[in-house]
Structure 1
Amino acid sequence: MRVALLAESFLPHMNGVTGSVLHVLRHLNAQGHETLVIAPRAGEVTTDLHGARTELLRSVPLPSYPEVRVVFARAARLTALLRSFQPDVVHLASPFVLGWQGIAAADALRIPTVAIYQTDVIAYAQKYGVSQATAFARSHVSRLHRRATLTLAPSSASTAQLEELGVDRIRRWGRGVDAVRFDPAHRNETWRRTVAPAGEAIIGYVGRLAPEKQVDDLRALADLPGTRLVVVGDGPSRSGLERMLPDAVFTGHLSGAELGEVMAGFDVFVHPGESETFGQTIQEALASGVPVVATGVGGPLDLVRSSIDGWLYRPGDLDDLRARVCDLVGDPAKRRAFARAARESVAGRTWDALGAQLVGHYREAIALRPMDDGLPARGRHRPVIAAPAVSRPWRRYVALGDSITEGLCDGSRMPDGEYRGWADRLASLLAASSDGVFRYANLAVRSRKMKDLVEEQLPRALTMRPDLVSILMGSNDLVGPKVDIPALVAQLEGAVREARGTGADVLLATVFLPRRRAAALFARRFATFNSELRRIAAETGAILLDLEATPALGELPLWSDDRVHLRPAGHRLVAYRAADVLGVPDAEALSDLDEAFHSDEMPMPGSWLRRDALPWVWRRLHGRTAGDGRIAKHLTYVELPGRGRRKRVSST
Structure 2
Amino acid sequence: MEPICGLDALPHPVSAPKRRIAIVTDAWHPQMNGVVRTLTTTSERLRAQGHEVAVVSPERFASIPCPTYPEIRLALPRPGAVAAMLRDFAPDAIHIATEGPLGLAARRHCLARGVRFTTAYHTQFPEYVARRTGLPAEWFWRYIAWFHAPARRVLVATESIGTQLRAHGLSRLHRWSRGVDLAHFSPGAVQPAAYAELPRPIQLYVGRIAVEKNIEAFLSADYPGSKVVVGDGPALPALRRRFPDVHFVGRKTGAELAGYYAGADVFVFPSRTDTFGLVMIEALACGTPVAAFPVPGPLDIVTEATGALSETLERAIDAALYCDRGDCAAHGALFSWEAATRQFLEGLTAAEPAATP
What TM-score comes out, normalization by structure 2 length? Answer: 0.90
Q: Deviations over 1:486-514 (max 9, x none)?
A: xxxxxxxxxxxxxxxxxxxxxxxxxxxxx
Q: Give me the CA root mean square deviation.
A: 1.8
Structure 2: runs of 5+ lacking an equivalent: 1-18
Aligned partner letter, 2:223: L
Partner residue of 1:236?
234
Aligned partner (choices 92, 105, 112) of residue 88 of structure 1: 92
Q: Does 2:333 align with 1:358?
A: no
Determine helix, strand or coil for the equivalent of 1:355: helix
Alignment of 1:72-221 (within 5 A): 72-74=76-78, 76-131=80-135, 134-188=137-191, 190-194=193-197, 196=198, 199-221=199-221
Picking from 310, 313, 327, the partner of 2:310 is 313
- Using CA pairs below 8 Å that are at least 6 residues apart, which structure has the higher relative contact order? 2
1:68 and 2:66 are equivalent in the alignment: no
Question: Is the contact made by 2:215 and 2:270 (CA closer than 8 Å) also made in structure 1?
Answer: yes
The structure with the largest helix share of the pair is 1
The aligned amino acid for 2:316 is R
Calculate the TM-score normalised by the size of structure 1.
Answer: 0.50
Q: Deviation at 1:74?
A: 4.7
Match of 1:421 in 2: none
Which residue type is aligned with residue 70 of structure 1?
A: L
Aligned-residue offset at 1:292: 0.4
CA distance in 2, matches of 1:188, 1:211: 28
Deviates more, 1:172-181 or 1:278-287: 172-181
Q: Distance in 1 between matches of 2:123 and 2:94?
A: 18
Contact in 2 for aligned 1:87/1:111 (Cα 8 Å)? no
Aligned residue number for residue 266 of structure 1: 264
1:253 equivalent in structure 2: 251
Structure of higher CA gyration radius: 1
CA contact (8 A) 2:284 2:328 kept: yes
Counterpart of 2:326? 340
Q: Is the 8 Å Cα contact of residues 38 and 57 (structure 1) preserved in structure 2?
A: no
Q: Partners in 2 of 1:20 and 1:207 — Cα distance?
A: 14
Q: What CA distance in whole angstroms lies between the structure 2 residues aligned with 1:189 and 1:283? A: 20
Matches within 5 A, 1:547-558: 551=354, 556=357
- Quote how far apart the aligned CAs of 1:214 are: 0.5
Partner of 1:15: 33
CA contact (8 A) 2:180 2:282 kept: yes
Alignment partners' CA distance in 2, 1:272 and 1:189: 23
Task: Using the TM superposition, give the Cα deviation of residue 75 of structure 1 relative to its aligned residue in structure 2, in angstroms.
Answer: 5.2
SS of match in other structure, 1:128: helix
Q: Is the 8 A contact 1:113 1:150 kept in 2?
A: yes
The count of corresponding residues between Structure 1 and Structure 2 is: 339
Aligned amino acid, residue 156 of structure 1: E
Q: Would the alpha carbon gap of residues 75 and 140 (structure 1) be closer, same or farther in structure 2, given more than 3 Å must change?
A: farther
Give CA deviations for 1:76-100 in whole Å, capped at 9, x if unaligned: 2211111111011111123333212
Q: 1:131 to 1:189 in 2, by over 3 A?
A: closer
Tell me: CA distance 1:19–1:97, structure 2 relative to 1, closer, same or farther (3 Å): same
Instruction: Map 1:366-381 onto structure 2 (within 5 A).
Output: 366-367=352-353
1:636-651 superposed matches below 5 A: none
Q: Structure 1 pair 202/149, CA: closer, same or farther in 2 (3 Å)?
A: same
2:276 to 265, 268, 278: 278
| C-alpha distance in structure 1 between counterparts of 2:179 and 2:113, whole Å | 32
**How far 1:128 moved relative to its partner?**
2.1
CA 1:80–1:148 in structure 2 vs 1: closer, same or farther (change >3 Å)?
same
What is the match of residue 6 of structure 2?
Answer: none
Q: 2:317 aligns with which of 299, 311, 325?
A: 325
Partner SS, residue 147 of structure 1: coil
* 1:295 corresponds to: 293
Deviations 1:14-45 (A, max 9, x none): 2111111111111111111111111112xxxx
